[in-house]
């Protein structure tokens, strides 16, 4: 599948889909789309005013796909303009900047905005979401690591890609997988195929990894009160070790979380008589 493949007309096999981009202002939504469709990068920031609309044709397997792309403005100022465009969407490109923690933390609010606009009858389950951890070329400023982003995305059944609109890294792979998943969805009667929708780890494992990552000290990491006994520390440790053991847990970041738990236990036991 390529954006510029020769046109093939196959009646009955063509498909029309709607795709939108979402994410904070300046994270690179427009540049990602431009990099894929026009194979170029513009370093000057030109804020999207409300919505940019474009049409592109791609081929996935033997199908010609006409893609209507609605590139949304991330700035809160444009809420009134973009809120009309959430309906009838098959795919969402959800972007954050790996050097801006705020833009990662805002992803939940973007999902909430979409959910609100779709209303009580809107169904977010049958939309393909791809999360782009963008600007990976800016390695010096990176503050959201891959496992954190991947964990967030995969625990929701979303695709995850590391991208750079500047260098082009990850962009083609992201769009290819994204469009392929949308075609699978359409061929599955508009329902997300089950293989894509369920993460290969549990919510309990994902929550534990997040809690460990954000813990302020070793007590907090093991989930025990400061001054807890050896038994309490060991019990809490064993529970987390079973949950996160690398042989059993494939959640992104589980290996680091497991190591951190081992170190926390060692540090605490040293000081408990
Ligand atoms: P809004 O339209 O305001 O919502 O912003 P946007 O998310 O569309 O951001 P846009 O694509 O306009 O990019 C914002 C700025 O980030 C521009 O100055 C881009 O050149 C820059 N930028 C985008 N992607 C990348 C990237 O992968 N790496 C680097 N280094 N800069 C990028
Ligand atoms: Mg834009």
Span 66-89, pLDDT tens digits: 999 999 999 999 999 999 999 999
Q: Are 68 and 19 in contact (CB under 8 A)?
A: yes
pLDDT at position 110 is 98
31 CA from centroid of ligand 1 (Å): 6
| Of the candidate ranges 97-111, 149-163, 192-206, the one whose mean pLDDT is the lowest | 192-206
In ligand 1, the atom with minimum distance to the C-alpha of 95 is 7
User: Coil, helix or strand for 53?
Assistant: strand
Tokens of 214: 């954000």
Residue 160: left if φ>0, alpha if ψ -120 to 50, beta else—which one? beta
When pLDDT is averaged across residues 140-152 and rounded to a whole number, the result is 96
When pLDDT is averaged across residues 126-135 and rounded to a whole number, the result is 97
3-state secondary structure 74-93: CCHHHHHHHHHHCCCCCEEE
Dihedrals phi, psi of 171, to nearest 5 degrees = -70, -50
Q: Is the pLDDT of residue 7 over 50?
A: no
pLDDT at position 72 is 97
> Any residues with Cβ below 6 Å from ligand 1, and which?
23, 25-31, 42-43, 45-48, 73-75, 134-135, 137-138, 164-166
pLDDT at position 271 is 87
Tokens of 252: 């992104």
204 CA from centroid of ligand 2 (Å): 36
**Which residues have CB atoms below 5 A from the ion given as ligand 2?**
29-30, 48
> Within a 10 A sphere around the Cβ of 24, how many other Cβ atoms?
22
Q: Are 69 and 33 in contact (CB under 8 A)?
A: yes
In ligand 1, the atom with minimum distance to the C-alpha of 74 is 4
- Percent of the chain exceeding pLDDT 90 equals 84
Cα–Cα distance between 176 and 93 in angstroms, integer? 13
Beta bridge partners of 92: 20, 129
The mean predicted confidence, pLDDT, of the chain is 92
* pTM assigned to the model: 0.87
Q: How far is CA 78 from CA 49, 110, 260, in A?
A: 7, 13, 43
With b meaning 16 or more CB within 10 Å and e meaning fewer, what string describes 48-74?
bebbbeeebebbbeebbbebbbbbbbb
Characterize the bridge pairing of strands 63-72 and 51-60: antiparallel
Domains of the chain: 15-188 (3.40.50.300), 203-271 (1.10.287.110)
Q: Is the pLDDT of residue 258 over 70?
A: yes
Q: Is the pLDDT of residue 5 over 60?
A: no
């Amino acid at each position: 599948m390529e954006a510029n493949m020769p046109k093939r007309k196959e009646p009955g096999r063509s498909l029309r889909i709607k795709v939108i981009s979402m994410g904070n202002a300046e994270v690179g939504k427009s540049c990602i789309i431009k990099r894929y469709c026009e194979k170029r990068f513009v370093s000057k920031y030109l804020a999207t005013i409300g919505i940019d609309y474009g049409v592109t044709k791609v081929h996935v397997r033997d199908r010609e796909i006409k893609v209507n792309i609605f590139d949304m403005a991330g700035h809160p100022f444009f809420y009134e303009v973009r809120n009309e465009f959430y309906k009838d969407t098959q795919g969402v490109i959800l972007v954050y900047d790996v050097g801006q923690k705020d833009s990662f933390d805002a992803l939940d609010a973007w999902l909430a905005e979409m959910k609100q606009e779709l209303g009580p009858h809107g169904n977010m389950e049958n939309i393909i979401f791809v999360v782009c951890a963008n600007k990976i070329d800016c390695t010096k400023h990176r503050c959201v690591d891959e496992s954190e982003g991947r964990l967030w995305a995969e625990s929701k059944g979303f695709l995850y890609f590391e991208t750079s609109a500047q260098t082009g890294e990850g962009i083609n792979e992201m769009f290819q997988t994204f469009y392929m998943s949308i075609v699978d969805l359409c061929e599955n009667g508009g329902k997300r195929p089950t293989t894509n929708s369920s993460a290969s780890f549990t919510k309990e494992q994902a929550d534990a990894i997040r809690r460990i990552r954000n813990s302020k000290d070793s007590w907090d990491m093991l989930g025990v009160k400061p001054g807890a006994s050896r038994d309490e520390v060991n019990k809490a440790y064993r529970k987390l070790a079973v949950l996160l053991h690398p042989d059993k847990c494939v959640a992104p970041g589980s290996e680091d979380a497991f190591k951190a738990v081992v170190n926390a236990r060692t540090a605490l036991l040293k000081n408990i008589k």
